[in-house]
Amino acid sequence: MAYDGELVKMENGRWARFSRCQVTNAGHQDTDEMDILVAVELEERYQELLRDAEQSIEAYRLKGIPVSVRLDPDGEGKLSLTLEGLH
């Protein structure tokens, strides 16, 4: 299951971030609103940033160190790496 803000590498090699979007059934009697998660492809500058970081991240994972990566939600272009299980 994905979460809001999660980064994902798509089959085409490009990076996307899951974003919560509200869907409204406008114009119908049943006007329920619901939230869905949509993978939105990142801008080219973020693609380059993530490509550059990818080798370093894989080096940790090959050593058996689980790493999670987050892109700054404020859009400042910062990556956050978290070594999971280390305190």
The predicted model gives 1-27 an average pLDDT of 86
State residue 10's pLDDT score.
92
Q: How is the chain split into domains, by residue range? A: 7-83
| pLDDT above 50 (res 87) | no
Long-range CB contacts for residues 43-48, cutoff 8 Å, separation at least 24? 45/77, 46/15, 46/71, 46/77, 47/14, 47/15
State residue 42's pLDDT score.
92
The predicted model gives 43-68 an average pLDDT of 85
3-state SS, residue 46: helix
